Amino acid sequence: MKAFLRWIGFEKQSKYVRDYYYTENMRSSIYMSIVIIVLEVWMMIRMTRTILERNDLGRFMYYFEKYYFNYIILLANGIIMLVFAVKYIRGKVSSRFIGSLIQWVFAIVCICFGIKISLNDYEKGEQILTFLTMTLFSLGLLTWKPYSAFLLSSVSYLYFYYRMNELVAFNTGQKGVTLATHINFFIMWISTMLVCLTKYNNIRIQALKDENLVQVNTYLSKISVEDELTGIHNMVYFRTEAEKLLSYVTTDRENIIFLFLDIENFKSYNEKYGFHEGDGLLIKFAHMIDEAFKGSLVSRYSDDHFVVLTSIEGAKNKVGELSGEVKKLQKEVHLELKCGAYKPQGNESDISLACDRARFACNSIKKHYDRTIRLYDKKLEDQFQLKQYIVNNIDTAIENGYIKVFYQPIVRTSDGCICGLEALARWQDPNYGLLSPGIFIEILEEYRQIYKLDKCIIEAVCRDYRDAVDNKKAFAPASINFSRLDFELCDIVGFLCETVEKYNVPKNFIDVEVTESALTDQQDFLPNAIKNLREFGFKVWLDDFGSGYSSLNVLKDYHFDVLKIDMKFLSGFKNNDKTRPILENIVGLAKQLSMMALTEGVETEEQFDFLGAIGCERAQGYLFSKPVPIGSLRESIAAGELKIAEEFIAK
Ligand code: C2E
Ligand code: CA
Ligand code: CA
């Protein structure tokens, strides 16, 4: 039923489909009206010639009423239709009502003309071709809703039939049409209706197809410049528009600035309230920025990061206001807005680099709770260059042997003898000198290159062991730092196994230090990797215990051989009364969980004595030695400044 109703034109159509029909009709109207105009002009010329030939000018009024009048009406109609349709196609008029009205009048006038001429012809015994042409013309060339076509054609055919039936047929000499005319006439009507129906439905299908295409195209072009989650622009849009803006000569380059916005602690918010709530917060925040920087370029960079290209004037105040708004959004998780600003220099036009610099400035104030905004300056530029240098040169540094291992001794509190060595990476660079891990580890982690360094350290430590054994030098079990990303980025456990085998290193000579954050990341493969390490015979140490994160949960869920207590506990040793009982408790806890306790950052004899007294088995810190090359360490041992446990002295 629904399909039938649709077929005969009773369905609600979208604006697109309605417009499609209308435009199609206006186009057909142009051809149709041109034909009518030419035809009528020709008719008038023909008529005038006939009058002149007959020398019948005296009866002009008779001709005018009988012929010219009709021609003029039709001609005028054709001209009006043509003018309107051309204007519509050129986009100069948009009123559909007037257009439809003209079209109806035009069609009715054409049909009436057909009726009039054909009745005349029929009377003279000629065929009714003008009527048939005109109905076919008006109904078949234009597209009508089937019910309109039915109405128009039925009324025309019935009226014509009625008038024809009243006349005396030329061939029979009697009033009324013959059966053959009757049947032919009916068939013509049916044919006209079928033409209309077919045309209507063909165009409907075409319009729907086109509409779909347009919708898909609109969607595609929308998502290509729109961020899917927040609905504001994405980086593709930002880059192209920012590039254009920077290239305009009219742009006042002195007055524009790139901002990089980041919500600090968003990750915790997400973890606490779930992704759905997190997304909601991002959407709100995105629209807040869009609103605050109306008229500027605003896009989502990634995650909870946004970039803005705006004028310097008022930018700081807007960021200040936004920062206040962000605080209002926070629940139990403390949220803070951080903003890095970068002012492009000279003719610079690299948008990605500009965003990177603004981001760098933003990252430089993370965890600085009193700062919301930081401008990228010379100092940051130097750091930024170093960062780029590190990321771009890690492979070369490894190949050229710029990465060195320094060892920091770990001593027993019972006798002060060295019983272990922590392997710590150093980058001895020909341009920058000695770089400490504080500078490059974080960068390598950010760019997911850290595993290269850690593999290099594993290999270097194993090589040092082999060298010591082969050349009868002292060496103690070495602990190596693993980044949590190592487990994700490569098969670090497999690599360690292969390497110890290659250099024939006993497994009890290599320990692995992991931090708590490795285990609170909720990634399944990590705990497994740690279990595997222990099963293979390596000892696993928990590094930086107490430096944050959910320490106690980690202790509950995993077993470690050594608990490495973070050096922050010792930093308040002198002035903070709470330090001692806390340390004592942690050491007690380690014992209960059958772990060996090791405290880092031991700098004074007093601290060392205290650790011995509370039963912390091991200590590490500047009191004994800073991290140094293995050769220097052996010199200190030879000079008697450091003692190494009996079992590790080369024999
Ligand atoms: P960490 O594993 O906690 O290493 C201890 C850091 O504390 C070392 O800094 C060491 O020099 C320093 N330190 C030791 N004793 C004292 C002391 O008495 N007082 C003070 N103030 N500091 C002391 P370093 O060598 O700069 O390493 C920094 C961090 O870089 C390390 O912290 C570790 O997390 C990371 N790291 C170092 N080498 C590697 C590596 O090969 N791979 C990975 N993934 N990370 C590494
Ligand atoms: Ca460590
Ligand atoms: Ca540590």
Average pLDDT per run of 10 along the chain, which is 651 residues long?
78 87 91 92 93 88 88 93 92 84 91 91 87 89 90 93 86 82 90 91 91 87 87 94 89 92 91 90 95 95 95 94 90 90 90 95 90 95 94 97 98 96 98 95 93 98 97 96 92 96 97 81 73 94 80 78 93 84 94 95 96 97 97 95 90 70
List, as one string, the DSSP characters of 32-90: HHHHHHHHHHHHHHHHHHHHHHHT-GGGHHHHIIIIIHHHHHHHHHHHHHHHHHHHHHT
Residue 29 beta carbon below 6 angstroms from any ligand 1 atom: no
**Ligand 1 atom at shortest distance from the alpha carbon of 603:** 18
Identify the three-state secondary structure at position 366: coil
Running DSSP on this structure, what letter comes out for residue 406?
A: E
Residue 479 beta carbon below 6 angstroms from any ligand 1 atom: no
Residue 457 beta carbon below 6 angstroms from any ligand 1 atom: yes
| β-pair type (596-599, 336-342) | unpaired
pTM for the whole structure: 0.65
**Ligand 1 atom at shortest distance from the alpha carbon of 486:** 44
Residue 483 beta carbon below 6 angstroms from any ligand 1 atom: yes
- Count of Cβ atoms closer than 10 Å to residue 279 Cβ: 13
Buried-state track 503-534, b at ≥16 Cβ within 10 A, e below 16: bebebebbbbbbbbbbbbeeeeebbebbeebe
Running DSSP on this structure, what letter comes out for residue 175?
A: B
Ligand 1, atom 19, lies closest to the CA of 601
What's the confidence (pLDDT) of residue 541? 96
Where in the chain are the domains? Answer: 2-219, 235-376, 387-648
Q: Are 161 and 183 in contact (CB under 8 A)?
A: no
d(CA 496, CA 136): 88
Q: Which residues contact 426 (CB under 8 A, 6 or more apart)?
A: 403, 404, 405, 406, 434, 435, 436, 437, 627
Residue 436 beta carbon below 6 angstroms from any ligand 1 atom: yes
Q: How far is the CA of 363 from the centre of ligand 3 (A)?
A: 23
Q: How far is the CA of 420 from the centre of ligand 2 (A)?
A: 12
d(CA 339, CA 261): 5
**Ligand 1 atom at shortest distance from the alpha carbon of 513:** 2
Give the amino acid at 631.
G
Q: Are 83 and 29 in contact (CB under 8 A)?
A: no
What's the confidence (pLDDT) of residue 362? 97
Say yes or no: domain 387-648 is CATH 3.20.20.450: yes
Classified by CATH at the fold level, domain 235-376 comes out as Alpha-Beta Plaits (3.30.70)
Residue 544 beta carbon below 6 angstroms from any ligand 1 atom: yes
Q: Output the six-digit token pair for 166.
A: 């009243």
Q: How far is the CA of 358 from the centre of ligand 1 (A)?
A: 29
Nearest ligand to the CA of 424 is: 1
Ligand 1, atom 7, lies closest to the CA of 601
Residue 621 beta carbon below 6 angstroms from any ligand 1 atom: yes
Ligand 1, atom 8, lies closest to the CA of 424
Residue 424 beta carbon below 6 angstroms from any ligand 1 atom: yes
Give the amino acid at 594.
S
What's the confidence (pLDDT) of residue 524? 67
